[in-house]
Amino acid sequence: MPGSSRLPVSLRDTFRAHKSSARGQLLVLNLDVLRNIIFVLFLFRWIRKAFYRLKGRGISGSIVDIYNSARRTLYGIFLRLPGVRTKVKAQIAESLLKLERRLVPSGPGVERTLTLPQEGWSEDQVKAALEKLAEMEHTRWEDGRVSGAVYHGGDELLRLQTEAFGKFTVSNPIHPDVFPGVRKMEAEIVAMVLALFNAPEGAVGVTTSGGTESILMACLSARQKAYNERGVTEPEMILPETAHTAFRKAGEYFKIKIHLVACKAPHYKVHLPSASRLVNPNTILLVGSAPNFPHGIIDDISGLSRLALRKNLPLHVDCCLGSFLVPLLAKAGFESEPFDFRLKGVTSISCDTHKYGFAPKGNSTVLYRSDDLRKYQYFVSADWSGGVYASPSIAGSRPGALIAGCWASLVKQGESGYVEACHKIVGATKKIENAIREDPALATDLKVVGRPLVSVVAFLSNSLDIYDIADGMSDKGWHLNALQNPPAIHVAVTLPIVAAVDRLVADLVDVVEDVREKERRRVVEGRGRKGAAKGDAAALYGVAGSLPNKSVVVDLARGFLDTLYKA
Ligand SMILES: *Cc1c(COP(=O)(O)O)cnc(C)c1O
Ligand SMILES: *[C@@H]1O[C@H](CO)[C@@H](O)[C@H](O)[C@H]1NC(C)=O
Ligand SMILES: *[C@@H]1O[C@H](CO)[C@@H](O)[C@H](O)[C@H]1NC(C)=O
């Protein structure tokens, strides 16, 4: 007999009520537990983040980070104060107007083509117009006045490239059945570059539109690999602070957090212990440069390789600039350092055929130790209504003409051609370096950054404003590169510069003497630093660059990009 039926009604109700309140309590308890679990998870996540941050940057580093970020925020607030904001805006507008006057020709004499001509021009008309465009007043790269920028291999090679272009103008490697020759050339280019970098059996690569795309692809494949194989959803990568800015672009495009590692004097190479401390479970990629753009210094790639092996991480070596010089240093009789696939930890390398490979602009390669990484950079769309679609990198259609131009350059130069170019270019760089170190007219005020082994020599000054020197060189018709953190200038030697080295050194001596004299007068007359009018580099890097919050510089740079599209 069920006992409950004999219970008095009131008791039964109480029991029922009790039971439901117990259920209620259980629910509350469950919610509580859930809340606690979420809280603990949150706390755990936060502590873990804080732990890796502290481990990565150390206590003093973390304090410096917080201090800098506070300064940036406060300065940002200052910039937004009503009076300040209008003044800053006016100044930015003025600088941009000046820039526009310099870059965009104007006035009654300037012809512009802003709509399609109603009737097409005659061939002669087009040719004449092109001739005029090519002859517009410019910094004379032809006379070796421009650092970097124009990496061409002589007029003979240029003519051959143009011929190669002409033969393949309509070709597009996206259709290998229509253009089998282009496919073959592309594959052979990759094979030749792989061999140059001592790639092991099974190594692979792709061609891209330039160093930036090669670097983007290397970062993307490392990110996808980490996501697919390790479940990393908040990827991070570790860069020397001197690594090319394309890595920061990759960080922005692909949502990869960037950690910068200091490259301190006197070697200006990536500081390995700092890099090692920054490794955590979210790390997807280590990076080194051979050499880097700012100072032309080759990072300690052997050390990075050991670190990569120890932590089981991919290591990308940026040889975009080193391209066809670094691999041939030893053969050209210069000192070298290990940097390529012979180091077991190196998993990918970017090499620009359009720099010291002398290929037409728009050409680079990215190489991988194995297919294991390359497969993660491919894009495949299996169910598109336009058909099954696969492409190796960012672009869809690509110009086969550039591939033909690149292939023609590589086979025309051959190893001996590149060794000879290396001999000339690195030889000229050493000439500039030695002049700065040894010529008393330069050595008293200038200092070479680190020990460059390739084609770039950077220098700074502890006694003079280096940006005044940059501006003085501009006034003499040179286009050198101004650097920051620390303030410096560099020359990236190219074949056109080789012939102009003595002129360059002589002009540098004159300019340094000038700036020294100005400085002396300034001290004697007791004028403030602001007394003399500043040139472009001094204004941008000396004044705007020293601000804690760079939003003014960012606005200027955006304005510069806008100016480029003004007809
Ligand atoms: C030039 C350069 C790149 C990338 O160059 P692109 O301009 O995109 O071809 C990357 N790394 C270094 C060190 C470079 O000098
Ligand atoms: C820098 O200043 C700008 C403009 O005032 C502001 O929008 C930005 O947030 C500031 N940056 C930081 C990191 O605070
Ligand atoms: C050259 O550039 C084109 C255009 O971006 C690209 O499609 C091709 O893969 C590049 N080839 C080489 C060899 O760098």
Q: Which is it for strands 204-208 and 364-368: parallel, antiparallel or unpaired?
A: antiparallel
- Of residues 393, 381, 256, the one with CA closest to residue 314: 256
Residue 351 has phi, psi (to 5 degrees) of -135, 120
Q: Which residue has the tokens 């965009």?
A: 104
pLDDT value of residue 399: 85
Note down pLDDT in tens along the chain; length 567 residues.
444 445 555 656 665 666 666 676 777 778 888 888 999 999 999 999 999 989 999 999 999 999 999 999 999 999 889 888 898 889 889 888 988 888 888 888 888 888 888 898 999 999 998 998 888 888 778 777 787 777 776 788 888 888 888 888 877 777 788 888 999 999 999 999 999 999 999 999 999 999 999 999 999 999 999 999 999 999 999 999 999 999 999 999 999 999 999 999 999 999 999 999 999 999 999 999 999 999 999 999 999 999 999 999 999 999 999 999 999 999 999 999 999 999 999 999 999 999 998 988 888 999 999 999 999 999 999 999 999 999 999 988 888 889 999 999 999 999 999 999 999 999 999 999 999 999 999 999 999 999 999 999 999 999 999 999 999 999 999 999 999 989 999 999 998 899 999 999 999 999 999 999 998 888 887 655 544 567 788 878 877 777 888 888 899 899 989 988 888
| Residue 236 maps to a domain | no
Q: Give the pLDDT of residue 536.
A: 80
Instruction: Ligand 3 pocket test: pick from 324, 361, 363, 407 the residue with the most ligand atoms within 8 Å of its Cβ.
Output: 363
478 lines ligand 1 (CB under 6 A): no
The rounded Å distance from CA 56 to ligand 1 centre is 28
Residues in the chain: 567
Say yes or no: CB of residue 321 within 6 Å of ligand 1: yes
Residue 533 has a pLDDT of 67
Please give the distance, rounded to the nearest whole angstrom, from the Cα atom of residue 62 to the centre of ligand 2: 20
| Cα(490)–Cα(242) distance, integer angstroms | 13
Q: What is the CATH number of the domain that holds 543?
A: 3.90.1150.10
**Which tokens go with 260?**
């910068």
Residues near ligand 3 (Cβ within 6 A): 186, 189, 207-209, 353, 362-365, 395, 398-399, 402-403, 406
Q: How many domains does the chain have?
A: 2
- Choosing from 66, 67, 551 the residue with most ligand 2 atoms within 8 A of its CB, the one to mutate for a pocket test is 551
Q: 527 lies in a domain?
A: yes
pLDDT of residue 2: 45
79, 107, 124 - which closes a domain: 79
Structural contact between residues 512 and 441, judged by C-beta atoms closer than 8 angstroms: yes
pLDDT at residue 140 in the model: 78
* Residue whose token pair is 């990629």: 285
**532 occurs within a structural domain:** yes
Residue 165 lies in a domain: no
Tell me which residue range forms the domain holding 434. 422-564
Interval between CA 209 and ligand 3 midpoint (Å): 5
- The residue contributing the CA closest to ligand 1 atom 6 is 211
For 527, the 3-state DSSP assignment is coil
Does residue 246's CB lie within 6 angstroms of at least one atom of ligand 1?
yes
In angstroms, the CA 367 to CA 204 distance is 6
Cβ-based neighbour number of residue 281 at 10 Å: 12
Q: Bridge partners of 117? A: none
The answer as to whether 320 is a domain residue is: no
Residue 136 inside a domain? The answer is: no
What pLDDT does 319 receive? 97
Under a CB-based contact definition with an 8 Å cutoff, are residues 390 and 380 in contact?
Answer: yes
- 3-class SS of residue 86: helix
362 touches ligand 1 (CB under 6 Å): no
Q: Is 236 in the pocket of ligand 1 (CB under 6 A)?
A: no
The Cα 469–Cα 482 span in angstroms is: 10
pLDDT at 165: 86
The Cα–Cα gap between 231 and 217 comes to 19
- CA neighbor of 303 nearest in space, from 260, 311, 373: 311
**What is the C-alpha separation between 539 and 530, in angstroms, rounded?**
11
Gap from CA of 295 to ligand 1 centroid (Å)? 13
Q: Which residues contact 546 (CB under 8 A, 6 or more apart)?
A: none
- Angstrom distance (rounded) from CA 462 to CA 447: 8
Q: What value does the CA radius of gyration of the chain take, rounded to a whole number of Å? A: 30
Which of 61, 79, 97 is where one domain is finished?
79
Ligand 1 site, residue 323, Cβ cutoff 6 A: no
Ligand nearest to the CA of 208: 3
Q: Which ligand is nearest to the CA of 205?
A: 3
Q: Ligand 2 centroid vs 67 CA: distance in angstroms? A: 15
Atom 4 in ligand 3: residue holding the nearest Cα: 209
Distance in angstroms (rounded) separating the CA atoms of residues 277 and 112: 57
Q: CB of 549 closer than 6 A to ligand 2?
A: yes
| Ligand showing the shortest atom-to-Cα distance for residue 550 | 2
* 410, 196 Cβ separation under 8 angstroms: no
Q: Which of 44, 79, 114 is the last residue of a domain?
A: 79
With respect to residue 539, please indicate whether it lies within any of the assigned structural domains: yes
Torsion angle, CA of 17/21/22/26, rounded to 10 degrees?
160
What is the reported pLDDT for 266? 93
Residue with tokens 């890595």: 247
Contacts of 313 by beta carbon, 8 Å cutoff, 6+ apart: 279, 283, 284, 285, 286, 307
Per DSSP, which regions of 262-335 are E strands?
283-289, 315-319
Q: Reading across the β-sheet that carries 456-461, which strands appear in turn?
A: 446-448, 456-461, 488-492, 481-483
Tell me which of 66, 67, 71, 72 to substitute to probe ligand 2's pocket, judged by most ligand atoms within 8 Å of the beta carbon.
Answer: 72
Does the residue 426 lie in any domain?
yes
CA of 417 to the centre of ligand 3 (A): 22
551 close to ligand 2 (CB < 6 Angstrom): yes
Q: Is 153 in the pocket of ligand 1 (CB under 6 A)?
A: no
